[in-house]
């Protein structure tokens, strides 16, 4: 419906192959970051450090490749390892000290932000290997950059894991009720730590995609994506599988949000509309998802 409305209002510019290619390709980073978020959220935790982990991954990739002469693949692998390490630290602190995940990840995220500023000397690092840029944004399939398909593939893998593997079902049970999960023989601590590790790893993937799209890394590259990622995660829980964080709904929500913002900008809206749209969508999505969850709980639906 949103696409139809903007196509009628801006028939010459909105419903074009170039516009849709830009929309799909440019939001691969946000899509992967939102997918990373829903893993710990499914287990009942929140990870506010994902955007900072994205920035750390992008900066590690750029610094090693540009300033230290590392090949791009080893640089990416170390960035992925750093993301997983951040996730493990988050999970270990949350479960061992029994501190609320929001507090822990806000603290670790802020700490990582300081580390990134120190590593980069507060400078943008540009000149990343052309091969990464080529395989993320230059190469296209059906007019859409490859980054979009990486996010799509990741979403498909997550859907399979969530719906058809014991790991995914255990994660869902942990998020629904940790006491029930323990009585069922599930290692709740391991599941929660694992969810943070995977969130950190996928955040690092998002950071690598960011570096591939921009060809550089800056100290604040991922911070502005935190709010829209949460908005997409909660909005995604209102559709496809209402009341549950799910990868299909999350991907749809990402492109619903960016479609709305793109259409409004084409109509001449000011830049502040983006913040209004993301903020309003987050509040509305949280409210709707909580109502849906409450109704399902009242009806006894899992």
DSSP letters for 189-228: HHHHHHHHHHHHHHHHHHHHHHHHHHSEE-TTTTGGGHHH
Angle at 23 between CA 21 and CA 26, to 5 degrees: 95
Angle at 256 between CA 254 and CA 259, to 5 degrees: 105
User: How high is the pLDDT of residue 242?
Assistant: 79
Among 28-32, 265-269, 274-278, the least confident range: 274-278
How does pLDDT run across 139-170, given as a tens digit for each residue? 998 889 999 999 999 999 999 999 999 999 99
User: What pTM was estimated for this model as a whole?
Assistant: 0.92
Average pLDDT estimate for 235-249? 87
- Is residue 180 within 8 A of residue 204, CB to CB? The reply is no
User: How high is the pLDDT of residue 202?
Assistant: 98
Rounded to an integer, what distance in angstroms lies between the CA atom of residue 229 and that of residue 238? 15
Per DSSP, the three-state class of 125 is strand
Task: Dump strand ranges (E) for the chain.
Answer: 125-126, 140-141, 144-145, 216-217
User: How high is the pLDDT of residue 64?
Assistant: 97
Per DSSP, the three-state class of 126 is strand
Q: Is the pLDDT of residue 286 over 90?
A: no
State the chain's mean pLDDT as an integer: 90
CATH of domain 2-299: 1.10.3470
Among 44-48, 75-79, 193-197, 252-256, the least confident range: 252-256
Q: Is the pLDDT of residue 288 over 80?
A: no
User: How high is the pLDDT of residue 293?
Assistant: 61
More confident residue, 235 or 289: 235
User: How high is the pLDDT of residue 294?
Assistant: 64
At residue 74 the predicted structure's pLDDT band, cuts being 50, 70 and 90, is very high
How does pLDDT run across 21-37, given as a tens digit for each residue? 888 888 999 999 999 99
Q: On the CB side of 227, how many CA atoms lie within 13 Å of its CA?
A: 11
User: How high is the pLDDT of residue 299?
Assistant: 53
User: How high is the pLDDT of residue 239?
Assistant: 76
Q: What percent of the chain has pLDDT over 90?
A: 67
User: How high is the pLDDT of residue 296?
Assistant: 58
User: How high is the pLDDT of residue 221?
Assistant: 77
How does pLDDT run across 110-136, given as a tens digit for each residue? 999 999 999 999 999 999 999 999 999
User: How high is the pLDDT of residue 217?
Assistant: 93
């Amino acid at each position: 419906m949103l696409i139809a409305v903007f196509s009628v209002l801006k028939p010459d510019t909105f419903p074009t192959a170039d516009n849709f290619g830009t929309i799909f390709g440019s939001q691969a980073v946000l899509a992967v970051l939102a997918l990373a978020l829903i893993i710990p959220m499914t287990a009942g935790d929140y990870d506010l450090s994902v955007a900072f982990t994205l920035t750390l991954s992008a900066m590690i990739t750029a610094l090693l490749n540009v300033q230290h002469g590392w090949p791009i693949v080893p640089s990416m692998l170390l960035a992925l390892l750093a993301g997983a390490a951040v996730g493990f630290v988050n999970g270990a602190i949350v479960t061992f000290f029994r501190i609320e995940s929001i507090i822990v990840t806000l603290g670790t995220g802020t700490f990582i932000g300081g580390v990134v500023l120190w590593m980069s000397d507060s400078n943008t690092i540009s000149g990343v290997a052309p091969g990464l840029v080529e395989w993320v944004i230059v190469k296209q399939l059906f007019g859409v950059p490859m980054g979009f398909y990486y996010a799509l593939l990741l979403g498909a893998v997550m859907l399979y894991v969530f719906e058809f593997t014991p790991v995914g079902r255990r994660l869902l049970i942990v998020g629904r009720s940790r006491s029930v999960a323990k009585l069922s023989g599930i290692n709740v601590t391991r599941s929660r730590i694992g969810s943070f590790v995977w969130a950190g790893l996928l955040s690092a993937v998002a950071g690598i995609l960011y570096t591939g799209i921009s060809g550089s890394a800056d100290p604040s590259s991922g911070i502005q994506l935190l709010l829209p990622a949460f908005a997409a995660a909660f909005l995604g829980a209102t559709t496809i599988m209402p009341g549950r964080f799910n990868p299909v709904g999350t991907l749809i929500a990402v492109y619903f949000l960016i479609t709305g913002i793109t259409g409004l900008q084409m109509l001449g809206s000011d830049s502040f509309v983006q913040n209004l749209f993301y903020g309003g969508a987050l509040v509305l999505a949280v409210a709707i998802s909580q109502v849906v969850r409450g109704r399902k709980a009242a009806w006894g639906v899992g």
